[in-house]
Copies of this chain bind each other. A is one copy, B any other.
Amino acid sequence: MDYEKPLFFRVMQYAERADRDVIDMVSGNPDWEPPEALREGLREYADLPVSEYQYPPSDGLRELREEIASRRNVPIESVIVTNGTGEANYLAMAAALDRDAGEEVVLTDPVYPYYPGKTGMLGGEPVYAPVEEDGRLDPDAVRERANEDTAAIVVNSPNNPTGAVYGEDTVEALVEIAEECDAILVSDEVYDHFDHSGRFASALSVDSEHRAVTTGFSKSMAITGLRVGYTVLPPELAEPARTRHMLVNVAGSRPAQHAVLRALRETDPDYYEANRAMLEERIDAFTDALDAAGAEYTRPDGAFYVLARFDGFPGTMENVERLIDEAGVAGMPGDAFGESREDWLRFALVTPRAQEAADRLASFFN
């Protein structure tokens, strides 16, 4: 399995070189507007005095950490602001593995490909728990694979690529398994603002020394390029994670943190609600057209991806290229996410042309 990014670039490059109009549903890059207060925060930063161009605190601007801690109802010491959710996952997984409490990392299959990539880089051993065909995670599938060698259990809810949302029972069971095995549940919740089911439960709702939450503003504020995320860690992990963060990055980028702080303070819940509603419309339109195309799919409970399977058309890179050339739709091959989804294709609903894309798929397959 390759990391998503190089594969993503390969698909993007292929789509760009295509001799026709292609609808891009490859990446997880939101195509909607960031909050106006975020742009305002950047403008404001441009005129701040020199002292605001100097190193921020390594673990993030104090006011940003305060705002996060207060919103999430956690102690400020547990919050480390990171260079996006990617670094948050890296820090949490490294801290879990550095505890000398095992070297196995339980992941799900299908999996977001950065997790096995990080596991390997950190010297851990990935172990895969299969999820149901509709994306639901049965905690027993994790329990069967967790033991005293387990350092971490890494899950993502709402899930990329399945669209599954793990409810309270699942999250509680996962924390319990982590406690039993002296492991750390790393719960990546970067899509938490895109819960279409109303059932999403954050791992922060369970108080435990064995759970870490990672998230960020990349998706909720449509700013994947600004790189502002954070992790909430138990005390035992927060100190080594702070040290690693300092030794790797010194600190995050200050204009981005300044702008996110302003956007957090000033953005009305309507902003998030409108984007979620817009995505739900795209999901409706896309899945209706998938029905017309005779595809198999699961309607996502969260996030903004749809996994679809077309009869006799497995999710290989070759078929992805055919769809680009012959249908004008670019998705991701399912095998990027593990063996269990080799027959599938992932489509990211980050384009206003989602319905048109599905219509093109319907014409192609009919």
A→B interface (CB under 8 Å): 3, 5-6, 27, 29-34, 39-40, 42-43, 45-47, 50-56, 58, 83-84, 86-87, 90, 114, 117-118, 121, 222-228, 243-244, 246-256, 259
Contacts and interface: CB of A to CB of B under 8 A. Distances in A.
18 contacts: A27-B55, A32-B50, A39-B46, A55-B225, A56-B225, A83-B227, A83-B249, A83-B253, A86-B249, A90-B249, A121-B243, A225-B253, A227-B249, A227-B250, A227-B253, A249-B249, A253-B256, A255-B259
A3 B256 CA distance: 26
Given A225-B254, A255-B256, A248 B248 contact: yes
Given A5-B58, A50-B222, A222-B50, A253 B250 contact: no
Contacts of A228: 253
- Quick one: copies of this chain in the complex? 2
B227 A251 contact: yes
Main secondary structure of the interface of A (DSSP, over half): helix
Given A54-B225, A87-B248, A255-B255, 7 more contacts: A42-B42, A53-B226, A84-B249, A87-B249, A114-B250, A117-B243, A225-B253
A87 B50 CA distance: 23
Nearest to A61: B225
A32 B223 CA distance: 30
Interface centre among A32, A43, A251 (most CB of B within 10 A): A251
Contacts of A32: 50
B53 A47 contact: no
Given A5-B246, A247-B121, A47 B58 contact: no
